[in-house]
Amino acid sequence: MTPDLVIFDCDGVLVDSEGLSVSALLSMITLAGGNVSEDAAYEHFLGKSIKSVREILDRDFGLDITDQHLSAMRVQLMRKFREELKPIPGIGQVLPRLAMP
């Protein structure tokens, strides 16, 4: 059977950005004066919007995340993506085998 359509959601299928995102988030938390473990970051923040993360950090961790903190995190995250983001093993062999319109 040949599929008519293949949809990729990117993270975990094409690339694995979760670890890089958590690393940048933890750096921002430290910059803001907080201390959250990596396990807690995955538990509380994975898959959440920046707005939700900011609210959780304020409500549950007592951290005031400023726009400057968020800006610094975005810069660090984009640098990490440029320098460290890697494809999921095997995806390079799969993509060329898909028929393109």
For residue 26, being part of any structural domain is answered with yes
Nearest-angstrom CA–CA distance, 56 and 37? 15
**Cβ(48)–Cβ(56) below 8 Å:** yes
For residue 76, being part of any structural domain is answered with yes
Nearest-angstrom CA–CA distance, 48 and 90? 28
| pTM of the predicted model as reported, rounded to 2 decimal places | 0.83
The stretches in the chain having pLDDT less than 70 are: 1, 10, 101
- pLDDT score recorded for residue 10: 63
- Torsion angles phi and psi, residue 47, rounded to 5: 80, 5
Domain of 57: which CATH number? 1.10.150.240
Domain of 55?
A: 18-85
Number of domains in the chain: 1
